[in-house]
Amino acid sequence: MSVTEESWEAYIKNSYDMTVEEYNAWKAGGFDHHHDLRDEILKKSVGGDASTRINIFSPEFMRDWMAAQLEPVSAIPTHLPTLNRIMRDDGGGKGIAKTAGWLCVIGGSPGFGKSAFVLNMASAALNAPTPEPVAFISLEMSKAQLATRLYALHSGTGLKLLEKGSFSELAWYDTSPKFAGLPPVWVPGKLMSGWQDIVAYVKACHSEGCRYFILDHLQCVALGDDEALHRGIQRVISELRAWAVEAESAVVICSQFNRATSSVMETPRSSGLFGGHSIESHADVIVLLDHSRYLREDNTAKTWAVVTKNRHGPCLEIPVEWNYRTLRQREADQDEEEMWPT
C-alpha cells in the first residue's frame, strides 16, 4: 500500500492538535506541500516560533541551562560501547537520548544484517540498567519470526534450536526463564505495509508507555516506482522525526542502499541510502554496515559499522563481529582490530 493523499490526510488530522484554520491551510496547500505546516507544528512542539528571541548570555538562560545540564541522563544504550560513547548531548555518552526526539538510521545492503543489528539494539535496551520497553515494527518478518530471532539473540540459545522444524523443547525450557521480568517488546499482530496501520500501532504502543520504536525497514512503507518511493520516504521520514520530537521518543529506522551503492564494493556513504538527502537531513545518527569489508567464516562474520553522521559527537568506524548461530553482534576489542578486513 502506498502513501496516498487520503492516508496522509488522516495521519496529519489525527496526529496533531490542529485548529480548523491550520487544517484548512494544510488542505488548501495541497498534498505535495505539507512541509510548511509540519514545520509550524514542530515549532509548537519544541516551544516558540521563528520570532522568539533568547539571549544565551542572560542570567536567566544560563541558570536554566545549568539546571538542565545537571539533570540525570535519560538514554537507551545500544550493544556497541563505542557507539554509546559518541552519542553525547542528551545521550550523555551512554546511548540514544530517550526523550529528545532522536532519529537514528541503520543502513545496509540486503542480506548484510540490518534487521539483526536492530534486534541487537532491542536486546540491549532490555539489558539496560533501567530496562526499556521496545516497539518493533517489522514490515518483512512475522511476529513468530521476530520472536524466534529475539529469543535466540537475547538468551544466547542457538537459533536453529528454536526454529520450526528443528525446535528443541529441552532448549526452550532452558531458555524461557531468561525472559522473566523483562519489559514488553511489542510487535504487530499482523504484517503491516500501510502508513495508517503503522501510525495506529505506534500510537497504541506510546499510550502503553513505550518511548523506543524500531522500524524495519523504511522502503517497505511506500510502494511504486522509484519516484513514488522517494516521495513516500521523504514524507514518512519527515513526519516520523516531527512526531518523535513531539512524543519525546526515540526512533530507529532500517534503510536500504540505492542500487548503485549496493553494487559498488567500496565503503558506503549516507548519500547512498535509498531516499538520499531526506534521510540524511532528518537523522541524528546514521550507521552504515560496510558490505565492501565483510568477511564470513563459518558461523561468524566480521565487518565495520561506519558512523557517517552524528549530530552529537564524532563520526568513526566500529569493527563488529556477527555470531550467526545466535545472531548476536559484538564490538571487537582494541587488540583484535588487525584481524578485521580492510
79: buried, middle or exposed (CB in 10 Å: 19+, 13-18, 0-12)? buried
* Nearest of 296, 340, 299, 291 to residue 318 by alpha carbon: 340
The alpha carbon torsion through 231, 237, 241, 247 (nearest 10 deg) reads 100
In this structure, are residues 235 and 276 in contact, taking their beta carbons and an 8 Å threshold?
no
Instruction: Check if the beta carbon of residue 329 is closer than 8 Å to that of residue 117.
Output: yes
* pLDDT (0 to 100) of residue 213: 96
Residues 279, 94, 202, 101, Cα dihedral to 10°: -60
CA nearest neighbour of 237 among 258, 252, 259:
252
Q: Which helix (H) or strand (E) covers residue 204, if one does?
A: helix 195-207
d(CA 331, CA 291): 17
Listed residue (109, 134, 80, 113) closest to 285, CA to CA = 80
Q: Tell me the backbone φ, ψ of residue 328, rounded to 5 degrees.
A: -75, 150
Query: Coil, strand, or helix at residue 235?
Result: helix
Flag whether pLDDT at 297 surpasses 50: yes
Confidence of residue 50 (pLDDT cuts 50, 70, 90): low
3-state secondary structure of 332: coil
**Which stretches of 217-294 are assigned E, i.e. beta strand?**
250-256, 285-289
Mean pLDDT, residues 243-260 taken together: 90
Q: Three cell numbers at 188? A: 504487530
Asked if the model's pLDDT at residue 41 lies above 50, the reply is: no
| pTM: predicted TM-score of the whole model, two decimal places | 0.83
b/e per residue, 153-189, with b = 16+ CB within 10 A?
A: bbbebbbebbeeeeeeeebeeebeeeeeeebebbbbe
CA-wise closest residue to 97 among 64, 71, 136: 71
Residue 34 confidence (pLDDT) above 70: no
Cα(232)–Cα(8) distance, rounded to whole angstroms?
A: 10
Q: What is the pLDDT of residues 136-175, one digit of tens each?
A: 988 888 899 999 999 999 999 999 999 999 999 999 999 9
Quick one: pLDDT at residue 195? 78
Q: How confident is the model at residue 33, as a pLDDT? A: 40
pLDDT at 4 over 90: no
Is residue 288 within 8 A of residue 306, CB to CB? The reply is: yes
